[in-house]
């Protein structure tokens, strides 16, 4: 008889609208939740492609503040700007429109505002954020579902990304509209798509994995590996875009309920300290992190190989997973993403310093295979360099 798995599962109060044209229901949703003074966090690319204008038309006078120049990796100095804007206009909801950074900015500002209110009302516990977040993703990054944000802090000339996890961070309303992804460039399609795939992989072997997260992660792998290349090769394929967005939703849902591990910890260090875009870092690191963990996680990852269409019957788990690693590496190459750290500006002389930073990363310490020495991390970075 197989040993029973013990687990803990935490759910969040979230409403999710999924489907082509669902953005049109934004105004109706605001009415339902009684949100009247809304702030938008986004980027100039969303202004250029007309998505911000669409939000403005839908919300009319309820959009009272606009912060549309969010930089990658949520910079601490921008958090101060966004927080000041939210205070000035006394917003009662914050929209994050775009990829992981604008959605992350909305989460940071919301949580910072709530923290201040809690200091003022210490004897009045609050179950939901005082200033809820509305997430409208236009990439496959998955930040919209997680109770996590990361901020890149700058201290003494050094940049370091710090992550915060709390159930109150999870967005209250999420709108998935595949029409908003049709103009996502091929490179961002590929990099954020691989990010979503990495969410599924880490959810499968997370030390806090649970039956729901495992089932959702495997469904996400099937959807992503079936649709990502199609989206990359034909960005206007709405059917493929919808399937891929569904895969990203499943990936985010899987990762939202487990702890991250080595892969994401290394990617956060590369992003916060070396300036590597998060999706690009995922594409470089994922095969190497999987291979490092292979001897400890083969039994958890063998179903992922099967979900990718790899025959596993009559084979040992490690060989099936190794084939999956090679297939992922080939997919990344086929989509022309960088596959070496040297190709994205990371210097070989930086690797020991990055490895030391990564060793203290909480996600790295949550890895199912013990990481106790910076030499182990540096070996992964060197293999990826």
For residue 326, pLDDT over 70 is answered with: yes
Taking alpha carbons only, the member of 264, 384, 371, 273 closest to residue 332 is 384
325 backbone dihedrals φ, ψ, rounded to 5°: -60, -45
Among the three residues 165, 180, 195, which one is the final residue of a domain in this structure?
180
For residue 183, pLDDT over 90 is answered with: yes
Q: What is the pLDDT of residue 382?
A: 97
Q: Verify that 100 and 229 share a domain, yes or no.
A: no
Confidence band for 115, pLDDT divided at 50, 70 and 90: low
The model carries a pTM of 0.90
What's the chain's average pLDDT?
92
Q: Verify that 147 and 222 share a domain, yes or no.
A: no
Q: What is the pLDDT of residue 3?
A: 56
Per-residue pLDDT tens over the stretch 34-52: 999 999 999 999 999 999 9
Average pLDDT over residues 312-338: 95
The tally of domains found in the chain comes to 2
Confidence band for 351, pLDDT divided at 50, 70 and 90: very high
Confidence band for 205, pLDDT divided at 50, 70 and 90: very high
Q: What is the pLDDT of residue 4?
A: 54
Q: What is the pLDDT of residue 25?
A: 97
Among the three residues 146, 180, 214, which one is the final residue of a domain in this structure?
180
Confidence band for 157, pLDDT divided at 50, 70 and 90: confident
Q: What is the pLDDT of residue 216?
A: 97
Domain extent at residue 223: 186-384
Q: Verify that 104 and 84 share a domain, yes or no.
A: yes
Q: Verify that 249 and 357 share a domain, yes or no.
A: yes
Per-residue pLDDT tens over the stretch 295-313: 999 999 999 999 999 988 8
Q: Tell me, yes or no, whether 10 lies in a domain.
A: no
């Amino acid at each position: 008889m197989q040993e029973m798995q013990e687990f803990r599962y935490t759910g969040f109060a979230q409403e999710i609208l999924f489907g082509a044209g669902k953005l049109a229901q934004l105004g109706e949703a605001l009415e339902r939740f009684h949100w009247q003074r809304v702030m938008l966090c986004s980027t100039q690319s969303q202004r250029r492609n007309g998505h911000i204008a669409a939000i403005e038309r839908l919300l009319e006078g309820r959009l009272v503040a606009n912060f549309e120049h969010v930089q990658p990796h949520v910079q601490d100095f921008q958090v101060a700007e966004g927080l000041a804007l939210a205070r000035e206009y006394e917003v009662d909801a914050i929209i994050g429109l775009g990829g992981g950074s604008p959605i992350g900015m909305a989460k940071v500002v919301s949580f910072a505002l709530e923290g201040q209110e809690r200091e003022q009302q210490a004897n009045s516990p609050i179950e939901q954020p005082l200033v809820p977040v509305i997430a409208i993703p236009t990439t496959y990054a998955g930040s919209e579902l997680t109770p996590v944000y990361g901020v890149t802090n700058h201290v003494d000339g050094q940049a370091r990304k710090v992550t915060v996890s709390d159930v109150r961070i999870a967005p209250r309303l999420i709108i998935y509209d595949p029409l908003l992804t049709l103009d996502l460039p091929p490179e961002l399609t590929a990099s954020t798509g691989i990010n979503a795939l990495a969410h599924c992989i880490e959810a499968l072997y997370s030390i806090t994995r649970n039956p729901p997260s495992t089932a959702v992660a495997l469904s996400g792998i099937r959807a992503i590996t079936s649709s990502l290349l199609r989206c990359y090769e034909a960005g206007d394929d709405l059917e493929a875009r919808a399937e891929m967005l569904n895969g990203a939703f499943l990936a985010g849902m899987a990762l939202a309920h487990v702890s991250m591990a080595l892969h994401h910890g290394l990617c956060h260090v590369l992003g916060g300290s070396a300036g590597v875009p998060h999706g690009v870092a995922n594409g470089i690191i994922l095969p190497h992190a999987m291979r490092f963990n292979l001897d400890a996680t083969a039994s958890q990852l063998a179903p992922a190989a099967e979900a990718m269409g790899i025959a596993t019957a009559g084979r040992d788990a490690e060989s099936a997973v190794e084939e999956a690693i090679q297939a992922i590496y080939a997919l990344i190459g086929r989509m022309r993403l960088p596959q070496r750290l040297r190709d994205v500006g990371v210097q070989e002389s930086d690797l020991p310093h990055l490895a030391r930073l990564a060793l203290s990363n909480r996600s790295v310490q949550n890895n199912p295979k013990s990481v106790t020495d910076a030499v182990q991390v540096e070996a992964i970075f060197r293999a990826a360099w």
